[in-house]
């Protein structure tokens, strides 16, 4: 099963990906997590993308496609993958179609007016990729999943959120039509509880 999660920043892709990856035994590949890991480890790639990522703009397509291509060639992706945050524009989707075209694309659709609250209250774990919200876990400093440090992402502030939503509408949202035309798009209502969003996804995937 080759799966893509599509949706605005804060729509719940990372949250749902963790559940899907567990249930269907698929490697969860988040380009955002991969980029953050590279920044944390101060790799050459990390140095190249650090400043653009903090503005909320997209990292260059060639670097991003290469990163995903290399990751999908690893052994754990032989029987499928779960991509979260990739592709994020038409050129990336066209590139992906050339090496590992998806079977199903799940769009998590949310009211864009509500995502700022979700993003500014997000607490992220850089170790396990966990994503939480202060509304649910309170103002704790340790990851409920793995016990490591929780952080507020540098780009999770109201100004950058605005920028990221614009990038989403201009560059990423056209993918909805792209995959609709391929007959691969499934739309899920993301404005419900985490459990209900997941159960709707399971109904689709079986």
Binding footprint of Zn ion, residue count (CB under 5 A): 8
143 binds, among Zn ion, ligand ADP, none (CB under 5 to 8 A by kind): Zn ion
- Binding marks (x or -) toward Zn ion, 124..163, rule CB under 5 A? -x-xx-x------------x-xx-x---------------
Angle at the Cα of 115 (from 136 to 131), degrees rounded to 5? Answer: 45
Q: Which residues pair with 29 in a beta bridge?
A: 83
CA 188 to centroid of chain Cα atoms: 15
Question: Residues with Cβ < 8 Å from 126, sequence gap 6 or more?
Answer: 36, 37, 40, 148, 149, 151
Among 2, 35, 179, 188, binds ligand ADP (CB under 6 A): 35
The answer to whether residue 193 forms part of the interface with ligand ADP (CB under 6 A) is yes
Are residues 3 and 83 in contact, defined by beta-carbon separation less than 8 angstroms? yes
The answer to whether residue 28 forms part of the interface with ligand ADP (CB under 6 A) is no
Are residues 194 and 12 in contact, defined by beta-carbon separation less than 8 angstroms? yes
Q: Which residues here bind ligand ADP, judged by CB under 6 A?
A: 7, 9-15, 31-32, 35, 53, 56-59, 64, 85-86, 88, 92, 118, 121-122, 131-133, 155, 164, 193-194, 197
């Amino acid at each position: 099963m080759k799966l893509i999660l599509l949706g605005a920043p804060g729509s719940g892709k990372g949250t749902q990906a963790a559940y899907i990856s567990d249930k269907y035994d698929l490697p969860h590949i988040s380009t955002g997590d991969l980029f953050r890991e590279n920044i944390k480890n101060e790799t050459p790639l990390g140095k190249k993308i650090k400043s653009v990522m903090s503005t909320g703009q997209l990292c260059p397509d060639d670097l991003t496609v290469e990163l995903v291509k290399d990751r999908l060639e690893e052994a754990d992706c032989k029987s499928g993958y779960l991509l979260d945050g990739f592709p994020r524009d038409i050129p990336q989707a066209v590139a992906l179609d050339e090496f590992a075209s998806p079977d199903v694309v799940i769009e998590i659709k949310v009211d864009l007016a509500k995502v700022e609250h979700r993003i500014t209250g997000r607490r992220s774990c850089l170790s396990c990729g966990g994503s939480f919200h202060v509304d649910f876990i309170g103002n704790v400093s340790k990851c409920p999943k793995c016990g490591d440090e929780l952080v507020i992402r540098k780009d999770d502030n109201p100004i950058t959120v605005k920028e990221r939503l614009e990038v989403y509408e201009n560059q990423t949202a056209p993918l909805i039509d792209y995959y609709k035309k391929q007959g691969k798009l499934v739309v899920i209502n993301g404005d419900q509880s985490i459990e209900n969003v997941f159960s709707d996804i399971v109904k689709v995937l079986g």
